[in-house]
Amino acid sequence: MIDLSMLHIIWPWVFVLLPLPWFVYSLWPAVKRAGGVSLYIPFADDYRLHNDKKTAHHSSNKLPWPMAWAIVAWCLLLLATARPEWVGDPINLPLKGRDLMLAVDLSGSMQIQDFTLHGRAVDRLTATKAVADVFIREREGDRIGLILFGSKAYIQSPLTFDRQTVNTLLQESAIGLAGKETAIGDAIGLAVKRLREQPGTQKVLILLTDGVNTAGELKPRDTAALAADSGIRIYTIGIGADSMLVSSFFGNRQVNPSADLDEKTLTAIAKVTGGQYFRARDSHALQQIYAQIDQLEPSERDQRVFRPVHALYVWPLALAMLIAVVLLFIKADVIDHG
């Protein structure tokens, strides 16, 4: 069913001209016929009287069809002049925000359960997924990509406005999926390769890890310098508690599960690119870190909407011209046979 609310008339005041032909016909002085008779026709008065009666009979019954079509053509011409338009359904436009890449560590140490979530102990990756879920959903207007790294770094999702898909891919990730070691340098290098291909946008990398670079072909500091040259800011997050109780044969003992965390390198990476290093010792701290990054790199909140407009004036205009041409041919034929 056609939704007439989509039909818009830009100049509706044009329809006040609808009775204009009638006014012109009524007020314009009648054309005087040429006087004198060039040929005498017997019984001319009777013939004229007969024709007048016949014409009066037809005119009293109905409007002559050429005149009716001329009125239709005039109405169509006014409709075309009024500029009718069909306005389509609103389409949300992609907003010009940031190109933001998330690099998440899936090495074996991410399975350490030194975080709590909703009152129960969880591993580091589970806590990361829970906090990143909210962060990704609120990044409206940004294109987000996902890199998962362990012994090697992989693009799990290219830059996209589809935040839901990126979030789903992150939630489906598993520890050890990319290997047991940690290739921080390769993860940064892969992010730089993808981000610098996008000109004219603000480029940000958020890298989350709990260890030290133990694998890969690229050194973290070298790739950080390359990121700085490419205009990419890197925010690094070191994840892991400072202490936790571990059960053993001799009883419980306190250990530092983050002893291998290379905070010095992570700080240097962030500093050289104009970013910042954060330390997440628990789920609450991780949540606050993502909130801080959201403030440092605010996303666009205003949604822009585009409604496609299709001009319809060509159809009534073409039909009016067609009727006019047909009437002109009929008029010419009547004159030729008159």
The CATH number of the domain holding residue 132 is 3.40.50.410
Number of domains in the chain: 2
Instruction: Report the half-sphere exposure of 149 (CA within 13 A, side-chain side).
Output: 30
Q: Are 74 and 131 contained in the same domain?
A: no
* Residue 33 pLDDT greater than 90, yes or no: no
- 46 within a domain of the structure (yes/no): no
Which among 143, 121, 146 is positioned nearest to 132, based on CA atoms? 146
- 149 within a domain of the structure (yes/no): yes
- 40 within a domain of the structure (yes/no): no
Q: Are 236 and 328 contained in the same domain?
A: no
Cα 148 from Cα 306, distance rounded (Å): 36
pTM for this predicted structure: 0.61
* Predicted pLDDT of residue 21: 80
Q: Are 83 and 116 contained in the same domain?
A: no
The whole domain housing 315 covers 1-11+62-89+307-338
- Measured CA to CA in angstroms, residue 299 lies from 132, 144, 302 at distances of 15, 11, 9
> What pLDDT, in 10s, does the model give residues 274-316?
999 999 988 899 999 999 998 888 765 555 666 677 888 888 8
- 302 within a domain of the structure (yes/no): no
Q: Are 198 and 240 contained in the same domain?
A: yes
* Predicted pLDDT of residue 258: 77
Cα 131 from Cα 289, distance rounded (Å): 10
Q: Are 316 and 235 contained in the same domain?
A: no
Residue 59 pLDDT class (50, 70, 90 cuts) = very low
- 25 within a domain of the structure (yes/no): no
* Residue 126 pLDDT greater than 50, yes or no: yes
- 45 within a domain of the structure (yes/no): no
Q: Are 276 and 185 contained in the same domain?
A: yes
Q: Chain-wide mean pLDDT for the chain?
A: 81
Q: Are 320 and 286 contained in the same domain?
A: no
- 31 within a domain of the structure (yes/no): no
Q: Are 152 and 277 contained in the same domain?
A: yes
Q: Are 140 and 262 contained in the same domain?
A: yes
* Predicted pLDDT of residue 37: 47
- 51 within a domain of the structure (yes/no): no
The alpha carbon of 199 is separated from its chain's Cα centroid by a whole number of angstroms, namely 19
Q: Are 113 and 81 contained in the same domain?
A: no
Amino acid letter, residue 328: L
Q: Are 319 and 249 contained in the same domain?
A: no
Buried b (16+ CB within 10 A) or exposed e, 256-286: ebbeebbeebbbbbbeebebbbbbbbbbebb
Higher pLDDT, 19 or 268: 268
Q: Are 318 and 189 contained in the same domain?
A: no
